Amino acid sequence: MGILSKKVVHEELAYLQDTQMIAAILAMGMHIIYLIIFAVYDVDIMFWFNLFFSLPVFIIAFTCSYKGFLKIAPVIGSVEVSIHQVIAVLLLGQDTGFQILLFCLIPIGILYQNWRISFFANSLLAFVLFLAISWFESGQFALYNLTERVLLIIRIINSIGLFTIVGVIIFYYITLNKKLYSKQKVTSQKLSHSIAVLHDQHTKIKESIEYAERIQSAVLIPDDYLSEFMKDHFVLFKPRDIVSGDFYWATHQDKRLVIAVADCTGHGVPGALLSMLGISFLNEIVNRDESMHANQILNILRTYLIASLHQTGRKGEAREGIEIALCIIDTKKNLMEFSGANRPLYILRENGSGRDSRKDHLKHEFIKIDADKMPIGIFDQEMTPFVNHVIHMKKNDAVYMFSDGYVDQMGGPQRKTFRSHRFKNLLLEIQDQTMEKQKKILLERIESWRGGFEQIDDILVLGFKN
């Protein structure tokens, strides 16, 4: 049964398979009629040609189509039509009308899978053979003299065969296109429905994220709160997405002001979730003991975060964490403690010198306080306690805390990151400006640098003057 069973082809090729089989059956029927006519009127060469070549070719073509070999049937069919009509005209003359059957090659070209190329090729072949026979055949090769009655019968059979085959193939083409149009229409309707569903889901998700942004904004320290304790400051906060993985935090305790700028792993919703966790932990840690040093706060924050995220250090485990710069300013003693997890502290000081510093400008000195090279979270290397730095503040010291979003922004004429040295030089350039003006310049410069590039990360820079 497996040998005799019809090969089931892809749905889009089913009409092609059926049409090839019908066309092959019609061709076999025509050649059986030819066999009878040629046998009756003793056209022996054409009789044997049809018996041993033409009829087997279309039997093979039918078999190939039946078994799913759809590329073979139209090829051998085109070869047979070309050879058969040329030989028939040469041996029997043009009055038989066999030359018009050459135009069967044109609709047969539609029966190829890659029909656009084959339709053109078959059309060209049909016209070339037709013109060649019409111009150069003058009866010099004719071996048989058929009566007018026989010629009329052959012309009628050829005409009926031509229109039948052409009609079947055109019917197939129209039916296929209708089916494809219906299928395309159904697909279009499904696609429109899917787009509508996606748009609805997108709207709901966006509304949820926008609501989350309002919650995050409410949790972040308002600018009015910072203004109570800082005479001159700015916060440049530019999330990459609606919500941010960067956050800034501050609290005032008697004579101490605690300020933090943090960068959580990721951005958007994942980073925002981690930032909410970080803010919550900082509130709990700092409010529990007002005498803690900056490094102690980070040590406890790391312990809390590792426990909350169930981090064990196993291979393949998620390595979410927080990079943070945290300062504690004693407003009475003019001292500042600093501790950092991968985030340094910049100080620009008027005409002075300080630890780990060098003069980069005639009027201001650039001081960088390095952070510990480890995050708040699980770490591959040994997790040592964070270092506490104590800085004696001077009048008009400008302090800058920032995430890596500003310096890592891609752009510029050479498509590079902004880098720390450009950021440092920019801060030196703008020291004569107020903090509010500095914020505006920093924003304009990074936007100019970004140009047509997308913002690659959240941007957060906090600056204040002593």
pLDDT at 436: 94
Helices (H), 344-434: 420-429
Q: Please indicate, yes or no, whether residues 400 and 261 belong to a single structural domain of this protein.
A: yes
Does residue 156 sit in the same domain as residue 275? no
Whole-number percent of the chain with pLDDT over 70? 96
Q: Which residue pairs from 349-356 have beta carbons closer than 8 angstroms and sit at least 24 positions apart in sequence? A: 349/394, 349/396, 349/397, 349/398, 350/394, 350/395, 350/396, 350/397, 352/394, 354/391, 355/391
Provide the pLDDT for residue 356: 44
Report pLDDT for 138. Answer: 67
Confidence at residue 317, expressed as pLDDT on a 0 to 100 scale: 74
Q: Which two tokens stand for residue 232?
A: 């001159």
Find where tokens 């070309």 sit.
82
Phi first, then psi, for residue 22 (nearest 5°) are: -65, -45
Q: pTM above 0.85?
A: no
The two tokens of residue 357 are 């510093």
Same domain, 66 and 108: yes
Domain count, the chain: 2
**What is the 8-class DSSP label of residue 363?**
S
Q: Residue type at 128?
A: V
Note whether residue 290 is domain-resident: yes
CA 81 to CA 101: how far, in whole Å?
A: 8
Query: Which residues face 366 on adjacent strands?
Result: 348, 358
Task: For residues 166 and 23, state if they share a domain.
Answer: yes
248 in the same domain as 181:
no
- Number of Cβ within 10 Å of residue 140's Cβ equals 7
Size of the chain, expressed as the number of residues it contains: 466
**Max Cα separation, the chain?**
129
**List of E strands, 245-363:** 246-253, 256-264, 322-330, 335-341, 345-350, 357-359
Q: Give the residues of the chain that fall short of pLDDT 50.
A: 353-361
Domain enclosing residue 252, as ranges: 220-465
Q: What is the pLDDT of residue 360?
A: 45
pLDDT at 338: 98
Shared domain for 385 and 272, answered yes or no, is yes
Measure Cα distances from 398 to 338, 340, 345 in Å: 14, 18, 11
Among 165, 188, 211, residue at a domain's last position: 188
